[in-house]
A and B are shown apart, each in its own frame.
Chain A
């Protein structure tokens, strides 16, 4: 299933829009966008105030681009991209990382599982699928994060912090990401429960490369995520 060509009204109507938040990703974004487009997806890259040529690379690769004039964080960029995807008339919104961690081919499985199960949100799980070359520390950190998110959200997942997800337009209109930074991943899971959204988990592959590791979050960032989630509760 491809998200554009399958459309009964022709290729200009996007069934699925893939939202890629990007901050200083000029080295990787072009290949990521081309990979997604090769699978027939319409791509929206949200350049989150990069100081490099991220936007130009994304445009050259054929993505619709939006630029935050100032850096606001991945959560904020996702919310912006999702809003734009809805404006484009997308029936499904997909979130996808800019650092080349994800496999474009996995999107079809996410969309198919949404259609077949009638769920509102499909979440990619590297622990049901594969986490290629993941370090031991990262595996433990992600397991802990999943336990924490499951505990605070009441939703049972195997991988709560995977950037690859798909949701219906209806779910995308209901979910409102207020965590500008990295805490949005837990926030989205918490909102599944709060809004009574049905979810499925789908096995996906996540690749850990030297580049993705260099762009990824340090273990210490988990502390800041924890802080933001706790403070978010009292707001």
Chain B
């Protein structure tokens, strides 16, 4: 019984956290809510997971959950990777813009006669 309570609390807490993140699209919020609901259902009625597993050609409910877990982890991994890649590209674009704005040419001179000074970040 204590583990069921713990898992339910954990799932509800993650749902609460997700609901405070307003950036997620509506479909993602709905999907996440559904996953949490299904999770809580199987936490309390694990035998039902075995029934569903039987329909899908998997022997035990536990195995079905492991397979689903692997799928979800892969999906999250790829998604995260793509996001990080996009962030890296943005950082490069920003870095480039800053760099190009602070080019220094030793042959260019200000009207005062001094060499061009860099005002860009160091």
Contact = CB atoms under 8 A, between A and B. Distances in A.
Contacts of A178: 89
User: For the complex, would chain B's binding face be called helix, strand, loop or mixed by DSSP majority?
Assistant: helix
B81 to A, nearest CB: 7
A16 interface: no
A46 interface: yes
Interface string B44-73: 000000000000000000000000000000
Interface stretch (A23-31, A78-86, A126-134, A166-174): A78-86
Contact of A180 (B88, B99, B102): B88
Contact of B92 (A55, A64, A72, A235): A72
A59 B117 CA distance: 11
Interface in B64-112: 81-82, 85, 88-89, 91-92, 95-96, 98-100, 102-107
A67 B103 CA distance: 7
Contacts of B114: none
Nearest to A180: B92
Contacts, number: 61
Contacts of B82: 235
Nearest to B122: A67
Interface string A107-138: 00000000000000000000000000000000
Interface residues of B, number: 22
A49 B105 CA distance: 18
B100 A68 contact: no
Contacts of B98: 68-69
A60 to B, nearest CB: 8
B100 A72 contact: no
Contact of A46 (B89, B99, B106, B121): B99
Nearest to A80: B96
User: For the complex, would chain A's binding face be called helix, strand, loop or mixed by DSSP majority?
Assistant: mixed
Nearest to A61: B106
Given A69-B121, A83-B100, A63 B95 contact: no
A235 B103 CA distance: 32
Contacts of B100: 66, 80, 83-84, 87
B10 interface: no
A178 B99 CA distance: 17
Nearest to A67: B99
B95 A235 contact: no
A66 B122 CA distance: 11
Contacts of B99: 46, 66-69, 80
Given A65-B104, A67-B102, A69-B120, 13 more contacts: A55-B104, A60-B106, A63-B106, A64-B103, A64-B105, A64-B106, A66-B104, A67-B99, A69-B95, A69-B122, A72-B95, A79-B96, A80-B99
Closest A-B pairs by Cβ, 3 of them = A64-B105, A66-B99, A69-B121
